[in-house]
Amino acid sequence: MVNLQLASFLLFVSCIHFISSHQRIYCVIKTFGQNLATRALTVHQTWANRCDKHVFLIATNLTKWNNTILPILNLFDVGDNYVELSIKVFDAINLIIQQPQPYDFDWLLMADDDTYIIMENLRQLLYETSEPLAFGHVFAPNNGAPVHLSGGAGYVINTVALKRMLPNLQTTCSQWYVPGMEDVYVSRCLQHLNVTLDGAIDGLHHRFFPLELLSLYYMEYPQWYLDYNTLKTYPGFDCCSTQSISFHYMTREWMNLIEWTRYLDETK
């Protein structure tokens, strides 16, 4: 059960900031065939409907998924597993930016099927620019490795950066177009092409979070987060920005609770 204090916290971190400008966002949700009827369906019924367009990215030869009500981008030449997720994402980017109307959006969002995105706050962050740019939660490994975006927290890449990626996927970025850690490899490719990776810091806080709400609230951080995190951590309401954009490891129940809490007035 969620007590009153946590319900108030939920309202605090998912505060919606409405704006008049509109950046078109194409949302790609990374999932697997076996998750379509559960996690993916919940995402489809909640935050993904506030994207300008969204698809669920799978990679399977099983035709039974073709009858799903979900919008699907199915890649048949790659395994539907975590090991090949980097290839799956690069393949998806390649397909999306070579479609008949490739740039009918301004930003491409990559998120997991257990990531919750507050789309209004994401739109507030995004803007038109001629510079190649990507926003997300920037990890800075304490072993001296280059920074990279967190895949679980979700990240957005503008079309300027995507246009720079297209001719380089099979050449300059080919060393990362292999099985491995998707967020690290995509970040390496972007950095090699001089695309800025912006952590979207709001004062003292991140806005993209690779953890779920209660871990942040109670400061129950896994060691890898402490090793990679770049900001001081705070307990309770001070853990997060009022302009928070994403949370990872979110259950279907949490996603539905946010929808019910935050968007209830819209249904009246």
Q: Tell me, what's the pLDDT at 13?
A: 64
Question: d(Cα 136, Cα 64) in Å, to the nearest integer?
Answer: 34
The whole-chain average pLDDT of the chain stands at 86
Full residue range of the structural domain in which residue 126 is found: 20-260
Query: What's the chain's Rg over C-alpha atoms?
Result: 18
Percent of the chain with pLDDT over 70: 85
| Residue 266 covered by a domain | no
| Residue 144 covered by a domain | yes
CATH number of the domain bearing residue 90:
3.90.550
| Residue 267 covered by a domain | no
| Residue 251 covered by a domain | yes
Whether the per-residue pLDDT at 268 is higher than 50: the answer is no
| Residue 37 covered by a domain | yes
Backbone dihedral angles phi then psi of residue 198, each to the nearest 5 degrees: -105, 125
| Residue 265 covered by a domain | no
Whether the per-residue pLDDT at 212 is higher than 60: the answer is yes
Please, are residues 248 and 152 in contact by the beta-carbon 8 Å criterion?
yes
| Residue 203 covered by a domain | yes
- Give the pLDDT band (50/70/90) at residue 83: confident
Rounded to two decimals, the pTM is: 0.90
The count of structural domains within the chain is 1
| Residue 9 covered by a domain | no
Displacement of CA 250 from its chain's centroid (Å): 12
Question: d(Cα 249, Cα 15) in Å, to the nearest integer?
Answer: 20
For 145-163, what is each residue's pLDDT tens digit? Answer: 789 999 999 999 999 999 9
